[in-house]
Amino acid sequence: MKSPLVMLVDDEVPFVETMVKRLEKRNLTVLTAFTGNEALESLGKHRNTDVVILDVKMPGMDGIETLQEIKKKFPLIEVVMLTGHATVESAIEGMKLGAYDYLMKPCDMEQLVTKVDEATRKKKDHEEKIREARVKEALSAHGLE
Amino acid sequence: MSNTKVKKITDYTSFFRKRFFTIIISSITPMILVSGIILYQFNISYHEKVHAHLAELVLKHKQNIDGFLMEKLADIRVLAKTFGFDELSDEAFLQDRLEILQKGYGPVFVDLGVINSKGVQVAYAGPFKLGKAVYSMAEWFETAMKNEYVISDVFLGLRGLPHFIVTVRNTWKGEPWIIRATIDFVAFNNLVGNIRVGETGFAFILNRKGALQTKPLFDIVPEKGPYLEFMNAELKEKDNVQIVERKDDSGSKDIYVADFLKDGDWLLVYQQKFSDAFSDFHKALKVAFAIIILGGLAITIVAYMLSTRMAYRLARMDKERQMMDEQIVETGKLASGGELAARRAHEINNPVAIMVEEAGWIEDLLEEEDFKEGKNLDEFQRSLNQIRNQGKRCKEITYKLLSFARKTDSTIQEVHLNDMLEELVAISAQRARYSNVTINTNFQGNLPFLEVSLSELQQVFLNLINNALDAMEKTGGILGISSRLEEDHVVVTVEDNGPGIPKANLGRIFDPFFTTKQVGKGTGLGLSICYGIIKKMGGEIEVRSTVDVGATFYVRIPLTKQKGKAQQEDIATA
């Protein structure tokens, strides 16, 4: 399986920098964004992004709002929420709004990578199903099946 | 602050009292004033009316009686003038005259007699054998000789029957003689006796000596009562009717109306019981009083109802407002407290996360070939592990602080609330005994199962029960636990009669870290954890308390878990 394309969104620059290094070391391709808006912009350019790792608590547009926007504009992209525990409630809300899962900071790297892999697989499955459906549609359109 | 609360409650009674009496006084005073004035005026005018009526009555009868007497006298005078002594001395002639009179005027004239100057009756006509009777010693004879004509008082005379006579003096051959006629007492008596008004009104005649001249309907004692005063009053005003109201010996009031007859010789007295004379007035008075009393009663009832309702509304409005205040304070405080803690924790978690990630990065780098050979590799790894572990510990601390949840089994299961509460009561019984606390339970049977986490719910109620027992530890008291079904939720109340919670603290007891216990004895998390658990179940927890009365916690748990279920599952997956 092709290595997943991940976007990490967090306002804490040092956190993002280190995380990028660590994730890349685990064969992930990582895009970064420090605000919600930046993330949406970047996603517009990189539509093939598989998973967004999104901090819930950010200044300006917060994680929940960003999530809603992502799900609206790029419904297939999976989102894993990251949260300090105080915002569990908002993480739960995020789950309801379609986030794949949430993790609490500081999170275990292996756990995070596992979640990202799972989310990627889910996304790929999704895409596969869509492709199959399209093929079926195309075939039936041509009266072949 | 709680003092003002207690004071307020008494305010309602004083409010009620004020309102009640204001309504009563403002309604009853004018009613009594108006009716009092009207009744007073009515009393005066009715009095005047009755007096005028009685005076008129007496005056009319006086004229009537006077007229009767004068008429009889005139008849006899005509007789005396028309015929001489010689003619009338003839008994047969006299008998004729009597018959003519009786034919003309009815049996009013009983007999006729002619008496000479020596007092000897020379002729007599009538039913009694009185011929040649000698009247020289009779009292009336003297008077008759002195006056031209006389109407006597009633006396028994020779015949031994009450009667009175009319005499006319005349002169024949220089000698005075008298013609005397006896008036039928019964006829005269009827004239007076027929004056009857109401049930007790009657009339009679007294002479100047106070002797009865007619037979009164009821017994009277002429010496008593105002009769003699009437006699004496004659000197002043002769013609006027006199009216007096006086109490008799038995205490009942009588009204007396009197006027003189027969040129002041006789007194016509009309007498009636006051209550009888004014019976119509008294009837009206009774009706008026009944109306006043009924009106007063109605006003009192209305005032009572109005004031009660107003006080009740006021109390309810105050209570609602106070409760709303409390709830806003509670949730506001909780929100701010929680918010603050959350921000702080986030601030800690972020740098910790960075440190842990940096350590992780070093660890990652150590994996590379170059470092594998380093002689301190083990130490590096031990140190990095330590950093990671301590980071995790930080996370756990904040987790514990902020999740408001201890290590509980949050598995959802069917919980029978009453059984669970019974169990908790049994667990707490020993402690309650030591604190001298009686536990009263009142569980509504047939409560439906709740689909919640048993251990979480146990934690909530154990916490509330323990708090209540703590509160009553020194004083002892009663702990009431009850459960009941209300629409779509179950309500459990935990009630103690301990010292209560001051209002200043009431808004904060659900805040994390708020405690009134000694340092080290309480974490200040108990109630905030309860709050968190109940909220998670989609329920509500609420407290009401009055200082020195006690505190009551209300826990509402919905039967259908809506939000609560989703949340619990989410956390389970976390």
Give Cα A93 to chain centroid, integer Å. 16
For B116, what's the count of Cα atoms within 13 Å in the CB-facing half-sphere?
14
Token pair recorded at residue B326: 């409390």
Torsion angle of C-alpha atoms B216, B217, B218, B220, degrees rounded to 10: -10
Could you tell me the pLDDT band of residue A8, with boundaries at 50, 70 and 90? Answer: very high
CB < 8 Å from A in window 328-357 of B: 341-343, 345-346, 348-350, 352-357
Task: Indicate if the pLDDT at residue A85 is higher than 70.
Answer: no
A14 CB neighbours in chain B (<8 A) are: 354, 358
Which chain A residue has its CA at the smallest distance from B399's CA?
A85
- pLDDT higher than threshold 50 for residue B4: no
CB atoms within 10 A of CB B153: 20
Q: Are B420 and B458 in contact (CB under 8 A)?
A: yes
Query: Cα angle vertex B493, ends B491, B498, to 5°?
Result: 170
| Contact assessment for residue A62 and residue A36, using Cβ atoms and an 8 Å cutoff | yes
* Least Cα separation, residue B400 to chain A (angstroms): 9
For residue B330, CA distances in Å to B54, B69, B502, B512 come to 86, 108, 14, 12
pLDDT of residue B234: 56
Pick the residue of A28, A85, A104 with the most B CBs within 10 A to test the interface with B by mutation. Answer: A85
Q: What is the mean pLDDT of residues B379-404?
A: 77
| pLDDT at B228 exceeding the cut of 90 | no
The per-residue pLDDT for range B329-380, each reduced to its tens digit, is: 555 445 445 545 655 666 677 888 889 888 888 888 888 877 777 778 888 8
Distance CA A53, CA A76 (A): 14
What is the torsional sign of CA B542, B546, B547, B550?
negative
Check pLDDT > 90 for residue B396. Answer: no
CATH number (domain holding residue A104):
3.40.50.2300
Measured between CA atoms, the residue of chain A closest to residue B570 is A92
Residues 6+ apart with CB under 8 A from B200: B218, B272, B273, B276
The answer to whether residues B60 and B203 touch, using CB atoms and an 8 Å cutoff, is no
A102: enclosing H helix or E strand:
strand A101-104
**pLDDT single digits (tens) B434-482:** 788 888 988 888 888 888 888 778 878 888 888 888 888 888 888 999 9
Q: What's the confidence (pLDDT) of residue B399?
A: 65
Number of folded domains that form chain A: 1
- Per-residue pLDDT tens for B477-534? 889 999 998 888 899 999 998 888 888 788 778 876 677 766 555 556 678 778 888 8
Domain B412-573, CATH: 3.30.565.10
Q: How far is Cα B227 from Cα B64, in angstroms, rounded to an integer?
A: 21
Instruction: Please indicate whether residue B330 or residue B178 has the higher confidence score (pLDDT).
Output: B178
SS3 content of chain B, % helix, strand, coil (to 5): 55, 20, 25
> Is-contact A80 A100, C-beta < 8 A?
yes
Question: Is the distance from CB of B453 to CB of B412 less than 8 angstroms?
Answer: yes
Whether the per-residue pLDDT at A145 is higher than 70: the answer is no
pLDDT of residue B388: 87
Fold that domain B195-277 belongs to in CATH:
Beta-Lactamase (3.30.450)
Token pair in block for residue A22: 């660590």
CA distances from B57 to B131, B195, B201, B543 (A): 42, 9, 11, 86
pLDDT > 90 fraction of chain B, expressed in percent and rounded: 4
Please enumerate in sequence order all residues whose Cβ is within 8 A of that of B184, keeping only pairs 6 or more positions apart, or say none: B107, B108, B109, B110, B163
pTM over 0.80: no
Q: For residue A67, is pLDDT > 90?
A: yes
Instruction: Kindly state the percentage of chain B with pLDDT values over 70.
Output: 85
The confidence score (pLDDT) of residue B405 equals: 38
Q: Pick the range with the lowest mean pLDDT from B41-45, B193-197, B563-567.
A: B563-567
For chain B, what's the residue count?
574
Write the DSSP assignment of B545-569 as a string of letters.
Answer: EETTTEEEEEEEEESS-SHHHHHHH
Q: How far off is chain A from B450, nearest CA to CA, in Å?
A: 23
3-class SS at B109? strand
Q: Smallest Cβ distance to B356: which of A84, A85, A106?
A: A106
* Strand A78-83 with A101-104, pairing: parallel
Q: Where are the domains of chain B?
A: 195-277, 412-573
* pLDDT at residue B139, rounded to an integer: 78
Residue-wise pLDDT for B92-150, tens only, equals 888 888 888 888 877 788 888 888 888 888 888 888 877 677 887 777 888 888 888 88
Helix (H) or strand (E) holding B324: helix B279-366
Confidence of residue A112 (pLDDT cuts 50, 70, 90): very high
Q: Whole domain around residue A101: which residue ranges? A: 5-141
Q: Answer whether B535's CB lies under 8 Å from B460's CB.
A: no
Query: Could you tell me the two tokens for B431?
Result: 């402690």
Taking the Cβ of residue A20 and every Cβ of chain B, the question of whether any pair is shorter than 8 Å is answered with no
